Amino acid sequence: LAVIRAQRAEDRVTLASFALRTLVDVRRRGYGGETALSQSEVATLFGLPALLWRQLPFTGTAAQVPTHAGRIHFDRAVFIAKCHSIGLRVDFWTIDDRVEAARLLELGADGIMTNDPRALRSLFDPSLIV
């Protein structure tokens, strides 16, 4: 956190962890940037109606997810719309295929994490690329 703060990068860095405990600690320390949902928060989100989710104390701002985990698919318009309806950004990882990235963006994905940014660069508005 100290490095991010020293670089004044909180507005550009979303902190993520699979572990809820880590994210709770980051949030408790007053991190001013965005945090992703933990694995357990995503599981809760997937299983709950949006109305109930809004009543829970979760403070993450992004669901950073794979396209699927076992038989659970996050790459569906209904999941993305649910996230958007409660104010969450949806970022998919790790997508290196241009066609797959385009499909996810068409579904409403807000971000794509990739090992090959050059292959996907043309899919994005140049003014939005950090």
In this structure, what CATH number is given to the domain that contains residue 116? Answer: 3.20.20.190
Cα 39 to Cα 44: distance, rounded to the nearest angstrom: 9
Mean pLDDT of 1-12: 95
Position 98 in a domain: yes
Residue 85: count other Cβ atoms within 10 Å of its Cβ. 12
- What is the value of pTM for the model shown? 0.87
Question: Within 13 Å of residue 45, how many CA atoms lie on the same side as its CB?
Answer: 32
Mean pLDDT of the chain: 92
**Close Cβ partners of 44 (under 8 Å, ≥ 6 residues apart):** 53, 56, 58
- pLDDT for res 4: 96
- Angle at alpha carbon of residue 86, lines to 70 and 1, rounded to 5°: 80
Instruction: Give the range of the structural domain holding residue 100, as residue numbers without chain letter.
Output: 35-123
Position 28 in a domain: no
**With 70 as the cut, is the pLDDT of residue 66 above it?**
yes
